[in-house]
């Protein structure tokens, strides 16, 4: 199978909410090929009228690496069809085996033209948010290699961003948690994300620059989860909390 047909197979699996086999079970691919497949998958989404809304990092915490059995950071793209508002209903039938995780998100203020450090935040970042990310691997049993998951746009499926908080808000060393139907299921510290969640801005700007991908004003960046993800089929309410960043809810149907 060439890269186009692999991308098409992944796009179809997402569109039809039917799992597919791992690429690595048919042939070996390197990470450059995986990112090339991801770009083609995204072109198919754009052709259907969806627009790029931002970016996500994955496997920025040990908790996530260990849950999924991988060892490196990855990045993917977010699109308009993945957006949910706080308290919005999420119809899980559009997904295969969705999971949710609490995240920190950033809204970009100014087109990013360099690798960001903490000193650049005021100039380039508009606001901080708590978020819930919905991930949905297009592979059977949510099993993949690093190359597989990159090609699959890092399992990106949905995201819900909470209220904006100014960049003077402290987001280092804060507790983040995820509750399902009112019961706490996971909690973790924001510093589990790369030692401090602001580091994700450095990582995302560096990765985007090295792949020739521009990050523009208005884009969202998801920093990666500080806790493992939880299955959400059959639940009714998913909420994330983080000290100082409020709460984000999705209603699952």
Interacting residue with ligand OOG among 38, 86, 153, 155 (CB under 6 A): 155
Question: What are the two backbone dihedrals, phi and then psi, of residue 173, each rounded to the nearest 5 degrees?
Answer: 55, 45
Interacting residue with Mg ion among 225, 232, 238, 242 (CB under 5 A): 225
Interacting residue with ligand OOG among 37, 154, 220, 245 (CB under 6 A): 154
Does residue 51 sit in helix, strand or coil? coil
Q: Which of residues 97-136 bind ligand OOG (CB under 6 A)?
A: 101, 133, 135
Residue nearest ligand OOG, CB atom distance: 58
107-146 footprint of Mg ion as x/- string (CB under 5 A): --------------------------x-------------
Strand-strand pairing, 220-222 and 52-58? parallel
Distance of closest approach, residue 50 Cβ to ligand OOG, in angstroms: 19
Distance CA 190, CA 238 (A): 19
Tokens for 90? 């999420």
Distance CA 8, CA 206 (A): 28
Q: Which of residues 40-59 bind ligand OOG (CB under 6 A)?
A: 56, 58-59
Strand-strand pairing, 83-84 and 156-161? parallel
* Helices vs strands, H then E, count in the chain: 6, 13
Q: Summarize as ranges the residues that interact with Mg ion (CB under 5 A).
A: 133, 225
Q: Summarize as ranges the residues that interact with ligand OOG (CB under 6 A).
A: 56, 58-59, 64, 68, 101, 133, 135, 137, 149, 154-155, 224-225
């Amino acid at each position: 199978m060439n890269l186009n047909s692999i991308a098409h197979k992944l796009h179809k699996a997402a569109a039809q909410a039917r799992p597919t086999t791992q690429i690595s079970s048919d042939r070996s691919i390197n990470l450059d090929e995986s990112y090339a497949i991801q770009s083609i998958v995204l072109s198919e989404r754009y052709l259907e009228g969806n627009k790029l809304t931002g970016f996500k990092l994955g496997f920025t915490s040990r908790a996530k690496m260990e849950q999924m059995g991988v060892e490196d950071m990855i990045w993917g793209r977010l699109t308009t069809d993945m957006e949910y508002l706080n308290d919005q209903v999420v119809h899980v039938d559009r997904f295969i085996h969705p999971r949710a995780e609490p995240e920190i998100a950033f809204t970009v203020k100014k087109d990013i033209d360099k690798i960001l450090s903490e000193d650049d935040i005021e100039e380039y970042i508009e606001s901080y948010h708590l978020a819930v990310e919905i991930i949905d691997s297009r592979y059977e049993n949510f099993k993949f290699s690093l190359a597989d998951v990159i090609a699959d746009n890092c399992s990106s499926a949905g995201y819900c961003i909470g209220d904006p908080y100014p960049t003077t808000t402290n987001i280092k060393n804060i507790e983040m948690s995820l509750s399902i139907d009112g019961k706490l299921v996971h909690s973790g510290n924001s510093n589990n994300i790369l030692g401090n969640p602001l580091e994700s801005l450095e990582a995302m700007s560096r990765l985007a620059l090295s792949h020739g991908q521009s990050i523009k004003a208005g884009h969202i960046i998801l920093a990666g989860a500080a806790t493992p993800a939880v299955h959400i089929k059959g639940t009714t309410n998913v909420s994330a909390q983080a000290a100082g960043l409020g709460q984000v809810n999705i209603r699952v149907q």
